[in-house]
């Protein structure tokens, strides 16, 4: 991925089409390209990727000619039914930052500085720290790619790390700071959002507890095509 300074879009580097053979060891995928070559791609997604990927589905990769990289290809997009899915979870933070900087996420405006990946909590890093002279806003970003029936949901696997982040956000509110849980939907289905209680009950319970005690929740939908991905609109939750 590379940053596009025009508007609030992330612009894809040249995408390469292929068909998935299999995903394995979480971070690897074997893919056959249009020319018949079989390649192994890095999968920047630690989740289960349920409803995002299956053998023989359409995929799009980027190529990185970096001698330090063991794998030259990265999986960026998949297609299930007629829906495009950005499976690269690292993209959520990037488009969230650009959407804040460009005024798209109205609830996170009015701060003088924006700093990504700042240390806080118990050996953690907050995705985005917004600051004024006398105010701090801690923003944790989560990528949403799971579909369950007619809903988009989070998480797609048990996430003790995600539960830890919820509790750390709550700790920031106790210190007098603002804390926001920001979910970014990275697929083109136009569906409502919910938490996947059936997948991670502890996360669900922690979410309910901290959001009744001051942690705010925002959900935003991204718009995806073969050139760009950007945050498009707010989703009611």
- Do 157 and 182 sit in the same domain of this protein? yes
- Do 78 and 100 sit in the same domain of this protein? no
Average pLDDT over residues 63-87: 94
Looking at the structure of the chain, the number of domains it has is 2
Q: How do residues 26-70 score in pLDDT, each as one tens digit? A: 999 999 999 999 999 999 999 999 999 999 999 999 999 888 889
- Do 176 and 228 sit in the same domain of this protein? yes
- The whole-model pTM stands at 0.93
Supply the CATH number for residue 101's domain.
3.40.1350.60
pLDDT at 2 over 60: no
Supply the CATH number for residue 58's domain.
2.40.50.580
CA gap 2, 66 in Å, rounded: 15
Average pLDDT over residues 173-192: 96
Q: Which of 34, 67, 86 is the last residue of a domain?
A: 86
Could you list the residue range(s) of the whole structural domain that residue 30 is in? 2-86
pLDDT at 3: 38
pLDDT at 202 over 80: yes
Q: Which of 35, 63, 86 is the last residue of a domain?
A: 86
Q: At what angle do helices 201-211 and 160-174 cross, to 10 degrees?
A: 10
pLDDT at 215 over 80: yes
- Do 123 and 28 sit in the same domain of this protein? no
229 φψ region: left (φ > 0), alpha (ψ -120 to 50), beta (else):
beta
- Do 219 and 148 sit in the same domain of this protein? yes
Q: Which of 86, 121, 149 is the last residue of a domain?
A: 86
pLDDT at 111: 97
Res. 7 pLDDT band, cuts 50 70 90: low
């Amino acid at each position: 991925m590379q940053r596009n300074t025009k508007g609030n879009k992330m612009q894809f580097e040249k995408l390469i089409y292929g068909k998935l053979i299999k995903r394995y060891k979480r971070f690897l995928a074997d893919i056959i390209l249009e020319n018949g070559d079989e390649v192994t791609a890095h999968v920047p997604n630690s989740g289960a990727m349920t409803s995002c990927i299956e053998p023989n589905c359409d995929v799009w990769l980027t190529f990185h000619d970096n001698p330090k990289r063991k794998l030259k290809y990265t999986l960026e997009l998949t297609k299930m039914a007629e829906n495009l899915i950005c499976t690269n979870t690292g993209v959520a933070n990037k488009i969230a930052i650009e959407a804040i900087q460009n005024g798209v996420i109205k609830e996170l405006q009015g701060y003088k500085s924006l700093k990504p990946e700042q240390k806080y909590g118990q050996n953690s890093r907050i995705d985005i720290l917004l600051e004024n002279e006398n105010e701090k806003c801690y923003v944790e970003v989560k990528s949403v790619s799971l579909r369950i029936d007619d809903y988009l949901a989070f998480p797609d696997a048990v996430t003790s790390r995600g539960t830890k982040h919820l509790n750390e956000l709550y700790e920031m509110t106790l210190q007098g700071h603002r804390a926001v849980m920001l979910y970014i939907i990275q697929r083109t289905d136009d569906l409502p959002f919910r938490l996947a209680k059936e997948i991670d009950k502890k996360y669900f319970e922690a979410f309910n507890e901290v959001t009744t005690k001051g942690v705010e929740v925002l959900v935003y939908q991204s718009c995806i095509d073969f050139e760009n991905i950007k945050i498009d609109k707010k989703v009611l939750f």
